[in-house]
Amino acid sequence: MMLTKTHKTLRYLVLVIMAIIIIGPFILGFWTSLLPTADIAKGALFSTHISLQNYVDAVQQTAIMRYLLNSFVISLLTMAAQLLFCSLGAYAFVFLSFKGRDFLFYVILATMMLPFEAEVIPNFVTVRQLNLLNHYAVMVIPFLTSAFGIFMLRQSFRQIPPELKEAADVEGLNHWQFYWRVTLPYARISLFTLAAYSFLESWNQYLWPMLTTFSDKFRPVQDGLRQLQSQETFNNWGMIQASAVIVVIPTLIVLFVGQHYFKDGLNEGATK
Amino acid sequence: MQAEVTPAPKPKADQSAAISRQRAKGYNLHAGDKYYAFAFLGPSLLVLGTFVFYPMLRTLYLSLFLTDNVGRPTVFVGLKNYIGLLTSSAYQASLQATAIYVIAVVALTLILGLLLAQLAAKKLAGIQWFRTIFSATMGVSVSVAAIFWLFIFSPSIGLFDQIGSFLHLPIVAWLTQPGPAMTAVVISTVWMNLGFTFLILFGALQMVPQSLYEVSAIEGASESYQFFHVTIPMISPTLFFTSTVTLIGAFKSFGLIDLMTAGGPNNATNLLVYRVYQDAFLSGNYGLASAESVILAVIIALFTLLQFKFLEKRVTY
């Protein structure tokens, strides 16, 4: 398509305006994280007193690095567990024959409709009785598997050609071997998508850790920022912004590095 | 979120298969699989049973009771919790606020997401940079988004108030007035949603065959005609998928509300999920909060069903 010169300029103008709107909050957050809080409080956003002092303060005076570590541990454990248990469950629904299989599958499918948020009351009582409160376990155990993950991997496993299974049967591979040597490698793109999805889901958990963790030792980063924000209300904007920037940088890096995979995986999910 | 829907591989009409084998979905399934099934599926069933099925039934049960302050049922009240809720003006206001929030978030997310995708789909020098920027908010978690926007909306030092005072406009108390507070949380949510929506819609646009545009251009179709008569119909499944995901996400919004307004001012942003949290964990009113949970779950389930129904239909053509 041929674009006239003014047409092209106009298009760039809209692109730039939208880019500024999207990226503006990042830039403002980053910029204010470099300013002394005194200047921010005066509204002097064009201050030239730039330094990394807020970052030093955030790392030294708050538990922000500990929160990040906690979140990494929790999200990695959740991701690994979901990859394992969802793939095992999905395998059963595709390659195993047992009574009530289809019924069970539809029951699991139906639970995808239930928001975890609507079930927090009994779940809170359960983890309190199991003595899991205020520990990594409380943020991992309820999410060891997911109906969504089982569903997605089942769809993907079903694309494995029956001939492969027949050949494996002839070779005498048992289910563990077929699961490990054929099914998982075959469905690696879906597994990668589930890995990214479950990691981000866990990383973004907010309500559940807020209810179940009370100490900096286990508090994940979302809840940690909430803690900083409520303690420091409007007193130390510079340090709060620095903490937010520290938190956002790892996920931005992951996003940009993994963007190709993300795009492929998401499109596979959304359009097939 | 993902919903790969592919038709099942058709079983071949191979009637000579061994009798002891059941041929379904193209794979040989053995009668002796049930021990494997137990090992493979057991862990998932245990976790889902404990943290999904049981709490679902328990929530339903609790919603029919008054409870003590640690959540044990005391007095059976039948549907009184529900009746009380649906007739209380505070809950009705909450429903209304949720509806406004959800509709605004879904509409703005889709319109802006589509605009971004459409802009980024054109081949221009440096377009890759814009694509990267447009997807950036996917890497932003809810607390970070809330903190960035809290600052932008904060009184007098925030960006909006600074611009406003520079232009001699009246100062808006963004987060302490009902209308502006709702506007602020909607803007923040939409911003946070855009990265993901952009990526999905951009992917869908890439898959529309170029030939459709070429043919319609030869026939003299304008760009806006093409947009409404080629682009929109071609990506309508993805648009529908995206709108359902955004809608369900909006119904579950909690973190942004908690950090930015805590349901205020005057309950103007006290959405359904936030109310569950307040009534259960701040007021200790677990029976009532369970009834609120059930209502929330029913609303979300209806919309999810709608999506499943739709995706099911798509498979047939």
- Is any Cβ of chain A less than 8 angstroms from the Cβ of B212? no
Distance from CA of A113 to the nearest CA of B (A): 5
Residues A115 and A250 in one domain: no
What's the CA gap between B215 and B233, in Å, rounded? 16
Residues A130 and A89 in one domain: yes
In a domain, A149, yes or no: yes
Q: What is the pLDDT of residue A271?
A: 42
Residues A132 and A34 in one domain: no
Kindly report the number of other CB atoms within 10 A of residue B171's CB atom.
Answer: 11
In a domain, A57, yes or no: yes
Mean pLDDT score, A207-227: 92
Residues A189 and A78 in one domain: yes
If you search the block for the tokens 């976790």, which residue do you land on?
A: B47
Residues A163 and A110 in one domain: yes
- Which residue intervals of chain B are DSSP H helices? 34-48, 54-62, 80-87, 89-121, 127-134, 142-153, 159-166, 178-206, 210-218, 223-226, 232-251, 255-260, 272-277, 286-316
Asked if A118 and B134 come within 8 Å (Cβ–Cβ), the reply is no
> Residues with Cβ < 8 Å from A224, sequence gap 6 or more?
A63, A64, A66, A67, A70, A216
Q: What is the pLDDT of residue B231?
A: 87
Residues A164 and A120 in one domain: yes
What's the CA gap between B144 and B141, in Å, rounded? 6
Residues A186 and A262 in one domain: no
DSSP string, A23-70: HHHHHHHHHHHTS-HHHHHHT-TT-----SHHHHHHHHHS-HHHHHHH
Q: Which residues 109-138 in chain B show a CB within 8 A of chain A?
A: 115-116, 119-120, 122, 124, 127, 130, 132-138
What's the CA gap between A237 and B157, in Å, rounded? 10
What CATH number labels B82-316?
1.10.3720.10
Q: Is the pLDDT of residue A174 over 70?
A: yes
Q: Which residues 291-310 in chain B show a CB within 8 A of chain A?
A: 293-294, 296-297, 300-301, 304-305, 308
Task: Give the chain A residue whose CA is nearest to the CA of B261.
Answer: A230
Contacts of B56 in chain A (CB under 8 A): 111, 114, 119
Residues A174 and A245 in one domain: no
CA dist B91 → B120, B275, B285 (Å):
42, 9, 14
Q: Is the pLDDT of residue A83 over 70?
A: yes
In a domain, A240, yes or no: yes
**For the purposes of burial, counting CB atoms within 10 Å of the CB of A206, is it exposed (0-12), middle (13-18) or buried (19 or more)?**
buried
Longest Cα–Cα distance in chain B: 85
Task: Please tell me the total count of domains within chain A.
Answer: 2
Q: What is the pLDDT of residue A5?
A: 79
Instruction: Give strand ranges (E) for chain A.
Output: none
B316: amino acid identity, one letter: T
The domain limits of chain B are: 1-47, 82-316
CATH of the domain at A211: 1.10.3720.10
In a domain, A17, yes or no: no
CA B215 to chain centre: 37
CA B90 to chain centre: 24
Reported as type and span, the H/E element at residue B65 is: strand B65-67
Asked if A175 and B36 come within 8 Å (Cβ–Cβ), the reply is yes
If you search the block for the tokens 């009834």, which residue do you land on?
A: B291
A141, A144, A121: which is closest to A130 by C-alpha? A141
Q: What is the pLDDT of residue B304?
A: 83
| % of chain A residues with pLDDT over 70 | 92
Q: Which of B21, B36, B70 to mutate to test the interface with A (most CBs of A within 10 A)?
A: B36
Mean pLDDT score, A22-45: 86
DSSP state of B137: G
Asked if B2 and A234 come within 8 Å (Cβ–Cβ), the reply is no
> Residues with Cβ < 8 Å from B121, sequence gap 6 or more?
B202, B205, B206
Asked if B25 and A15 come within 8 Å (Cβ–Cβ), the reply is no
Mean pLDDT in each 10-residue stretch from start to end of chain B (317 residues)?
40 38 54 81 93 92 88 86 91 94 96 92 84 89 92 81 77 82 95 92 87 86 85 86 88 92 87 92 90 93 82 53
- Is any Cβ of chain A less than 8 angstroms from the Cβ of B41? yes
Residues A104 and A187 in one domain: yes
Q: Are A245 and A29 in contact, with CB atoms under 8 Å apart?
A: yes
Q: What is the ipTM of this complex?
A: 0.85
Confidence label for A38 from pLDDT (cuts 50, 70 and 90) = confident
Residues A73 and A120 in one domain: yes
A78, A79, A63: which is closest to A217 by C-alpha? A63
Mean pLDDT score, A50-69: 89
Domain carrying residue A110: 66-221
Q: Is the pLDDT of residue A235 over 80?
A: no
What's the CA gap between B150 and A33, in Å, rounded? 14
Q: What is the pLDDT of residue B12?
A: 39
In a domain, A217, yes or no: yes
User: What is the interface size between A and B, counted as CB pairs within 8 Å?
Assistant: 325
Q: What is the pLDDT of residue B26?
A: 60
Q: Is the pLDDT of residue A90 over 90?
A: yes
Residues A205 and A245 in one domain: no
Residues A82 and A213 in one domain: yes
> Residues with Cβ < 8 Å from B226, sequence gap 6 or more?
B213, B216, B217
Asked if A121 and B9 come within 8 Å (Cβ–Cβ), the reply is no
Q: Which of B44, B46, B63 to mutate to test the interface with A (most CBs of A within 10 A)?
A: B44
What's the CA gap between B82 and B68, in Å, rounded? 18
Which among A47-61, A80-94, A113-127 has the top mean pLDDT?
A80-94
Contacts of A23 in chain B (CB under 8 A): 133, 136
Q: Which of A98, A152, A154, A165 to mutate to test the interface with B (most CBs of B within 10 A)?
A: A98
- Is any Cβ of chain A less than 8 angstroms from the Cβ of B184? no
